[in-house]
Amino acid sequence: MITRRHWMVLALLTGLLFLSMLTTVNIGSTNVPFDTILKDPTASLIVFELRLPRVIAATLVGFGLAVAGTAMQGLFKNPMADPYIIGTSSGGALAAVFALVFLGGRGQTLLAFIGATLATFLVYTIARQRGRAPVETLLLSGIAVSLLLSAVLTLIMWTAGRSVHQIFAWLWGGFPLASWGDVGIASLILIGCGIIFVYARDLNVLALGEEEATHLGVNVERFKQVLLFVSSFITAVAVSISGIIGFIGLITPHVMRLIVGPDHRILIPASMLAGGMILLWSDTLVRTFTSEMPVGVLTAFLGAPFFVYLLRTRMKT
């Protein structure tokens, strides 16, 4: 049941995100006071052509990774599931790096989408038995496919020669070259998030079990396919813009579930807002204090211990 407290949490997250976006536009190696943005051409260039598209792109990618993670955790009924863990990110990254190395970057977004989608449905096909794909088998298949794709990706990097450093930096994720064109592509993430939100009720029903969900009118296998496809789409768009940024889709849904509960009608928008804020501040920290260290390094430092915590918690139950 959605309560007044839930609406207050969403309103607070929305306000904090808006405030964060205003604040981070002004933070950087050069501080730009708000009263000079429209008066000083240099300040205007820094804000509107460099920082603002980066802030919006980071926020949108954070939206997408958090929502995709929420959907996959609901689908797998496992708090350790996210696009990074089950191979979707690896598929998108492999295809995007292929475009970067062999096609000069042409068609990178399209190939990332194709790669993420094929990787996800490869996982689904491997896990499917007698017309069904048990969630535990899906998760294990995803880990295996992710390792295989990572090996192929390493092989491509080995043959890439001088561009390997550029690829390595891109793979760890970041927004140093974010532009308004990237913002336009990233806006597609909002469509995917909206589609997943439409299926919030079905995610709630699936939590009762696949047999119960079937009795309540949910076509479980078709629902899995739709959710995996849309999550792949979101992840592919995110990967094509920022590279691989792990653990946003793992941490955010788990934390917000503790705050707003398991109802996906609230959990999905809450995770979306929180994910955007987490990635926005993470990117702001690395561009301000580390001379453009890939933001994926920071999220990994935050997310890896959290993953271990979740693993040990599940071992005790």
Q: What is the pTM of this model?
A: 0.88
In the chain the domains, ranked by start, together with CATH numbers, are 4-316 (1.10.3470.10)
Average pLDDT over residues 155-183: 79
Pairwise pLDDT comparison (262 vs 167), residue with the higher score: 262
pLDDT at 208: 87
**pLDDT above 70 covers what percent of the chain?**
91
pLDDT at 311: 67
Please give the backbone phi and psi of residue 302, each rounded to the nearest 5 degrees, phi first.
-80, -40
Closest CA to 121 of 80, 86, 93: 86
Give per-residue pLDDT as tens, 65-86: 999 999 988 987 777 777 777 7
Closest CA to 296 of 262, 263, 229, 250: 250
Give per-residue pLDDT as tens, 185-235: 999 999 999 999 999 999 999 988 888 888 888 888 889 889 988 988 898
Give per-residue pLDDT as tens, 277-301: 999 999 999 988 887 788 988 888 8
Pairwise pLDDT comparison (207 vs 20), residue with the higher score: 20
Task: Give the residue carrying structure tokens 């890896």.
Answer: 304
230, 50 contact by CB (below 8 A): no
